[in-house]
Chain A
Amino acid sequence: MNGVHDMGGMDGFGKVEPEPNEPMFHEEWESRVLAMVRAMGAAGAFNIDTSRFYRETLPPHVYLSSSYYKKWFLGLEEMLIDKGYLTREEVAAGHAMQPAKALKHGKFDRANVERVMVRGKFGRPASAPAKFNIGDRVRARNIHPATHTRLPRYVRGHVGVVELNHGCHVFPDTAAMERGENPQWLYTVVFEGRDLWGEDGDPTLKVSIDAFEPYLDPA
């Protein structure tokens, strides 16, 4: 979706402000949100792409004015309501009122902690040969799905070169919408800065994205 989360190349957000000796969490609740997201994801309530999509669909003014963990919280709450794990009435009351919905991987208890500390596996066996080779010129497709995609707007329509092939991976565009893993070849595609940003762009800049095969046409 063409949301405000797709920030590459936008102007007006000001300077980057590193915080010296930044704490891991600025408020205790942030750590609870992180843990709840990790736990409910590991329990099978949602996949990582779905959770990203729920953050992206926050209203633009909410997205832009909320801290990172606030976005995580808002996305989590809405997603769990939509998926039937809790109700709006329960959220308003602050207590459980309805029977629980079964979780795919069961209750998240201490025995499950170790496995959330390593990233999930997203590589999948290939069902067809790769369409592109290293060094091929490709054009990022000019597509504008209203649903989740990982093709940023700033490269759409531009020509780049395939630099790496990462094998087949879960396709976020379908996984986020719970339409299956639909594995696709994944490539690093590199673009010249001036192709993206015009003649005034930095001549020393190259930018790469990791692009799934359905995002690309031969060029």
Chain B
Amino acid sequence: MSQDHDHHHHDHDHSELSETELRVRALETILTEKGYVEPAALDAIIQAYETKIGPHNGARVVAKAWTDLAFKTALLQDGSKAIGTLGHVSRVGDHLVVVENTPERHNMVVCTLCSCYPWEMLGLPPVWYKAAPYRSRAVKDPRGVLADFGVALPKDTEIRVWDSTAETRFLVLPMRPAGTEGWSEEQLAELVTRDSMIGTGFPKTPGAPS
């Protein structure tokens, strides 16, 4: 396989980004002209990602697990199956593994080889999740990584890092914040942050500014 990516001459009037933009447009033109893709179908994919997936899906699952013990038990047993029973969050692929944070153990998810991430539950991953600093350090120095997020754990807490090296996907079930007794699922879901489901943060606490 050849790797001849350097055949374009860089014009100083164009940033690398604008050259990339031109190349991307050229590729889409070719794919369209050859009849491989319909541009309107590409628009529809983008629209679906922009509107249908996102951390709100994972937040609903977490909030339900905080309020419904039978659901939580099923969720930890077989994440995909349990989430599949929820009408409003039904788009879930196979082999979603939900891992529970406890006072004794904190879980954190990474993909050191690329950027595997539970898209259906959390949406598209943020840039930092896909970038070298996180991918390189999460498995070796997770406390240092957490410090970059302003997060500190008690020194005796076990840290379990899940490297997503296959088509399994991992979602962290964070601990329910104190002071939320009697809250509804909807109220609780508002406290669940994306990072708390990756393991690089905690849920919001009641009353704290968001």
Contacts of A117 in B (CB 8 A): 48, 52-53, 91, 120
- The A76-124 residues at the B interface (CB cut-off 8 A) are 76-78, 82, 85-86, 88, 90-91, 94-96, 100, 103, 107-110, 112-113, 116-123
Q: Do B166 and A169 touch (CB < 8 A)?
A: yes
Chain B interface, number of residues (Cβ within 8 angstroms): 86
Query: A150–B115 Cα gap in the complex (Å)?
Result: 12
Query: A129–B168 Cα gap in the complex (Å)?
Result: 20
A27 at interface, CB cutoff 8 A = yes
Contacting B148 at CB < 8 Å: which of A6, A15, A110, A212? A15
Query: A215–B38 Cα gap in the complex (Å)?
Result: 41
A186 closest partner in B (C-beta): B166
B33 at interface, CB cutoff 8 A = yes
Contacts of A88 in B (CB 8 A): 4
Query: A24–B149 Cα gap in the complex (Å)?
Result: 20
Q: Do B24 and A73 touch (CB < 8 A)?
A: yes
Query: A52–B17 Cα gap in the complex (Å)?
Result: 23
Task: Give a binary string over A184-201; 1 marks a CB under 8 Å from any B CB, 0 the rest.
Answer: 001010100100110001
A144 at interface, CB cutoff 8 A = no
Contacts of A208 in B (CB 8 A): 160-163
11 contacts between A and B (CB under 8 A): A7-B113, A17-B128, A91-B27, A96-B29, A108-B37, A119-B94, A122-B166, A186-B166, A204-B157, A204-B158, A205-B161
Q: Do B37 and A96 touch (CB < 8 A)?
A: no
Contacts of B141 in A (CB 8 A): 202
